[in-house]
Amino acid sequence: MYLVKDEPKRADIWDEEFIKRHDVAGPRYTSYPTALQFHEEFTRQNYLDAVERSNVRKRPLSIYVHLPFCESLCYYCACNKVITKDHDKMRRYLDNLIKEIEITAKPFAENRPVYQMHWGGGTPTYFDGPELTELWYQISRHFHLVDPDRGEFSIEIDPRTIDTDKLGLLKGLGFNRLSFGIQDFDEKVQKAINRIQPLSMIEDLVKEVRDYQYESLNFDLIYGLPHQTVSSVNKTIEKVIDLSPDRISLFNYAHLPQRFKSQGQMNEEALPLAGEKLQIMCAASSRLVEAGYVYVGMDHFAKPSDELSIALKNEQLHRNFQGYTTFKEADLISVGVSSISQIDNVYCQNSKSIRDYEQALIDGESPIVAGVQLTPDDELRRDVIMSFICHNKLNKAEIESAHSIDFDEYFEPEEKKLAEYADQGILEITPFGYQITPKGRLVVRKVCMVFDSYLSEHAKSGNRFSRII
């Protein structure tokens, strides 16, 4: 089931009262267990054992590269980033990153194909052309990247750091997908978040992207920022539709100045209230669907011809630390400060501190500082959660076959809760198991939470999550 322009009763999908009733705080489920379960007792050997199992399974690979540097501070940002104009600091980081790439590649079997690679940050394009070229070369030297016409190679771009020459360079290296950080076109909003980028700049860049024949262009948008209203965001959405990106991410801004100091530089009184924020999300989402975009899930939209939409329709969608992806059976190798890898049944994370990350590599040690090895119960619950969040349904027989369990017996308490959700219109009970309703897709994380065995532990520890809408 996927929401498209001609789906009946699409106006009922973004039902404000329904959303208010079910909008709770909860994990985003880019993984299960979530990163809160990572622990420092996890060792390099745990990781190497997982790589060995992965080599036996011979699954394809996906690579994530974290480049945390930015020239200026966007006040809303909650990413792991470093604001600097010190190029020596960036050069030192790049040298250590290349060391990590070499160390990371060694235990993996040769010629395992890399079908997907993503560079994020920070601002990857803050690095200059020769440095970007050097990094691509070092990755391709140590890993087997498939040809660009067979793989997805993407990079996040701050439009203020790119020009025609650099767009051409990226295409020449092998990147075929770009993601622009747009956030909002309203000048008043841009000033409030310290990110000025005129519409004309984006229009020129989009034309150049198409001239270079990139396969896909994504726009990142944020709702809930200072001075945003339903009317102002609608104007941004109309401009986005005119520019016609292939994918759109419509993110919810979470105001947490106690955790992210830069957010305190925005006028809190200028933030839209909860009710208006919900109206903004509903109006923007409805308009995107009316314009022909498919609601992929969570905060993602894509054209019907896009791989994400096709994967959703064919039940081949997957989710990892970068969000939705089409590569279900790929192990994720992540390099760079704070990055998270997913290898076989293991998650592991590098140091969040650049100083500690670099020192580990200078000392010839792994920058991995925490992780978790999944138990059979974790793997079972992960499959259930991912089925709901990626396919909007659950086939009990498939879960039983994959994990050698009796679903009704194993999940008796959980199924009682699902019966309540069926009465509330979040899902339907079917002969094969459960189907999320169109309305329920907006609060699917609430269904996933039913199967999260760690939530009570998080509540006792005082861990906080963002709202699911």
Residues 395 and 458 in one domain: yes
Buried b (16+ CB within 10 A) or exposed e, 417-454: ebeebbebebbeeeeebbbbbbbbbbbbbbbbbbbbeb
What is the C-alpha to C-alpha distance for residues 37 and 46, in angstroms, rounded to an integer? Answer: 15
Strand pairing class (82-83; 69-70): parallel
Q: What is the mean pLDDT of residues 89-117?
A: 95
Q: What is the mean pLDDT of residues 193-207?
A: 97
> Domain containing 58 — which CATH number?
3.20.20.70
Residue 121, pLDDT > 70, answer: yes
What is the C-alpha to C-alpha distance for residues 198 and 97, in angstroms, rounded to an integer? Answer: 33
Please give the tally of structural domains in the chain: 2
What is the C-alpha to C-alpha distance for residues 394 and 377, in angstroms, rounded to an integer? Answer: 17
Q: What is the mean pLDDT of residues 262-282?
A: 93
Using CA of residue 90, residue 95, residue 98, residue 99, what is the dihedral sign? Answer: negative
299, 315, 333: which is the final residue of a domain? 333
Buried b (16+ CB within 10 A) or exposed e, 177-186: bbbbbbbbbb
pLDDT in tens, 414-438: 999 999 999 999 999 999 999 999 9
Residue 7, pLDDT > 60, answer: no
Residues 437 and 327 in one domain: no
Residues 127 and 193 in one domain: yes
Does 368 reside within a domain? no
What is the C-alpha to C-alpha distance for residues 105 and 229, in angstroms, rounded to an integer? Answer: 48
pLDDT band, very low/low/confident/very high, at 459 (cuts 50, 70, 90): low
Q: What is the mean pLDDT of residues 119-138?
A: 96
Residues 59 and 147 in one domain: yes
Asked if residues 386 and 319 have their Cβ atoms less than 8 Å apart, the reply is yes
Residue 11, pLDDT > 50, answer: no
Residues 134 and 215 in one domain: yes
Residue 169: CB partners within 8 Å, gap ≥ 6? Answer: 129, 132, 133
Report the pLDDT value the prediction gives residue 323, as an integer from 0 to 100: 84
Residue 388, pLDDT > 70, answer: yes
Residue 336, pLDDT > 50, answer: yes
Mean pLDDT of the chain: 93
Residue 339, pLDDT > 60, answer: yes
* This prediction's pTM: 0.93
Report the pLDDT value the prediction gives residue 128, as an integer from 0 to 100: 95
Report the pLDDT value the prediction gives residue 262, as an integer from 0 to 100: 92
Report the pLDDT value the prediction gives residue 460, as an integer from 0 to 100: 65
Q: What DSSP designation does 272 have?
A: P
Percent of the chain with pLDDT over 90: 82
Full residue range of the structural domain in which residue 464 is found: 1-33+376-469
